[in-house]
Amino acid sequence: MTITTAARAVTDILQPRNVLLAGMLGIGVAAAGDWTGIPWGLLGALCAGIIPAAYIEWERRRGTWGDRHVVDRTKRAPIFVVILASIGLGSLAMALGHAPTSILIAMLALWAMTIGLLTINLVWKISVDSAVASAVVAMLAVVHSLWWLLAYILTAAVCWSRVALTYHTVAQTVAGASLGAATATPFLLA
Threshold 0.75, pTM exceeds: yes
Q: How confident is residue 112, by pLDDT bands cut at 50, 70 and 90?
A: very high
Q: Indicate the number of domains in the chain.
A: 1
- At 45, the pLDDT band (50, 70, 90 cuts) reads very high
3-state secondary structure labels for all residues of the chain: CCHHHHHHHHHHHCCHHHHHHHHHHHHHHHHHCCHHHHHHHHHHHHHHHHHHHHHHHHHHHCCCCCCCCCCCHHHCHHHHHHHHHHHHHHHHHHHHCCCCHHHHHHHHHHHHHHHHHHHHHCCCCCCHHHHHHHHHHHHHHHHCCHHHHHHHHHHHHHHHHHHHCCCCCHHHHHHHHHHHHHCCHHHHHC
Q: Nearest-5° angle of CA 179, CA 56, CA 90?
A: 65
Tell me: the pLDDT tens digits for 178-187? 999 998 877 7
- What integer best gives the mean pLDDT of the chain? 94
Domain limits for position 156: 3-189
Average pLDDT over residues 160-186: 95
Average pLDDT over residues 64-83: 87
